[in-house]
């Protein structure tokens, strides 16, 4: 998996697919603009036909390299009613960006969510926004991985859908420097307080590196604590699967811990420098895990991606 089914026992957090972060993408488009995409709800709409109304979906951006949010975009959805749902988008900076609640100024108010196949796009100032039902861009031969690299040639994601959140803006809305760090989080309200139930940035980490009994804690954690908390157990994973020595394992882990997707917008986008919708992240993770012994699962990117906003393909039907 990429980040699909990131709870214990390869299930969605709290057994609720609406709270399940599947992927994060960060790339540039012409016009000096940055695109942020956060997908949730694997195999939609089977596990949920809308976004969770008691959740805060969030994309955090570190602009100064201290592994803490300097800019945060929060997405809060209304209860779905009669096949309709709306979303309000907030942008916070500084201390407000580190608050769990949606804070800061409002960029969009009560934008209709695209619950069908048509993409309903909203614009406000320099921002372009979409939220709704889309084709899942993730591609991998998951059966082949389970069968210990006996490849089947079948793309697990070929007919799958997700719910996507897409936000495009000028580079300058994310700081003056070219380098940013991005991660996503899903929190849900319980007993009047927000609880973080999923978070991540790099693809295919928690499924391979985290034991079931630590997944909930990982999903609730902060990237700034990742190295101290997970270095040792993740080194052991690489030593077991890839035959790494400790120094080489730590060097490999420096590319994914803390779990923040670094992106130098002055350089071409290619994972792990950001992530496009066509980057072969499954092969990249297999190569890391096996120390280069397995370098591909022989599955290529999807062909239903859109050339323009919102970039994610039309959802599969039937």
- pLDDT tens for 35-66 read 999 999 999 999 999 999 999 999 999 999 99
191-211: string of b/e by CB count within 10 Å (b at 16+)? eeebbbbbbbbbbbbbbbbbe
Which residues of the chain fall below pLDDT 70? 1
The pLDDT of residue 3 is 82
For residue 276, give every residue at least 6 positions away whose Cβ sits within 8 Å of its Cβ, in sequence order, or none. Answer: 25, 27, 269, 270
* Dist. CA 128–CA 31, nearest whole Å: 13
Q: Where are the alpha helices (DSSP H) in 170-210?
A: 206-209
pTM of the model: 0.98
The helix or strand, by DSSP H or E, that contains position 238, with its residue range, turns out to be: helix 226-242
Quickly count: other Cβ atoms within 10 Å of residue 218's Cβ.
20
């Amino acid at each position: 998996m990429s980040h699909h089914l990131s709870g214990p026992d390869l299930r969605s957090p709290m057994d609720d697919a609406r709270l399940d972060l599947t992927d994060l993408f960060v790339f540039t488009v012409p016009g000096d603009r940055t695109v942020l995409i956060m997908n949730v709800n694997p195999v939609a709409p089977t596990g949920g036909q809308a976004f969770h109304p008691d959740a805060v979906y969030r994309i955090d951006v570190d602009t100064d390299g201290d592994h803490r949010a300097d800019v945060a975009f929060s997405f809060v959805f209304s209860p779905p009613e009669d096949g309709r749902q709306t979303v309000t988008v907030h942008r916070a900076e500084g201390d407000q960006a580190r608050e769990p609640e949606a804070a800061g100024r409002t960029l969009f108010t009560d934008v209709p969510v695209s619950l069908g196949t048509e993409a309903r796009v909203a614009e406000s100032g320099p921002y372009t926004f979409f939220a709704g039902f889309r084709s899942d861009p993730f591609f991998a031969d998951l059966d082949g991985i389970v069968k210990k690299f006996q490849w089947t040639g079948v793309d697990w994601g070929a007919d799958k859908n997700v719910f996507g959140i897409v936000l495009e803006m000028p580079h300058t809305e994310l700081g003056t420097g070219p380098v940013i760090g991005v991660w996503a989080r899903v929190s849900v309200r319980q007993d009047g307080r927000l609880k973080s139930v999923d978070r991540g940035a790099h693809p295919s980490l928690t499924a391979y590196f985290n034991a079931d009994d630590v997944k909930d804690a990982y999903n609730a954690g902060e990237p700034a604590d990742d190295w101290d908390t997970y270095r040792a157990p993740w080194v052991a994973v690489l030593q077991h699967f890839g035959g790494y020595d400790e120094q080489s394992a730590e060097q490999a882990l420096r590319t994914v811990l803390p779990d923040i997707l670094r992106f130098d917008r002055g350089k071409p986008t290619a994972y792990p420098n950001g992530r496009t919708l066509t980057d072969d992240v499954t092969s990249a993770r297999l190569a890391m895990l096996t120390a280069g012994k397995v370098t591909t699962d022989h599955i290529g990117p999807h062909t239903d991606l859109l050339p323009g906003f919102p970039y994610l393909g039309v959802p599969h039907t039937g």
